[in-house]
Amino acid sequence: TIATNMAGRGTDIMLGGNPEYLAKAQMRKMEIDEELINEATGFSETDNEEILKARELYKELNEKFKKEIAPEAEEVRKAGGLYILGTERHESRRIDNQ
């Protein structure tokens, strides 16, 4: 996984991949409407059966991808973790200290 802070937009480092992103991408491949995907990943209360089914699918996919990603993340850790390459200093010391 690559992290960058270009244009002030930081990216979280996810060893092995991002299961939430992969679950949403799989739902898109299944031609599930984007609005329904947003509802499936939300926290608002609902009794809408379609949303509840989408939430269950998202939960299952997220768990599936977590299990697939775990060995990759462990492999990175065993190899020594991440290598940080800084090409310049940031104007904010807080950013550099991260």
pTM (global) more than 0.75 = no
Average pLDDT of the segment spanning 19-30: 97
Do 17 and 72 form a contact (C-beta atoms < 8 A)? yes
The highest-confidence range among 6-15, 42-51, 79-88, by mean pLDDT, is 42-51
70 in a domain, yes or no? yes
67 in a domain, yes or no? yes
49 in a domain, yes or no? yes
**Which domain, by its residues, includes 20?**
6-86
The highest-confidence range among 12-21, 27-36, 69-78, by mean pLDDT, is 27-36
d(CA 46, CA 43): 9
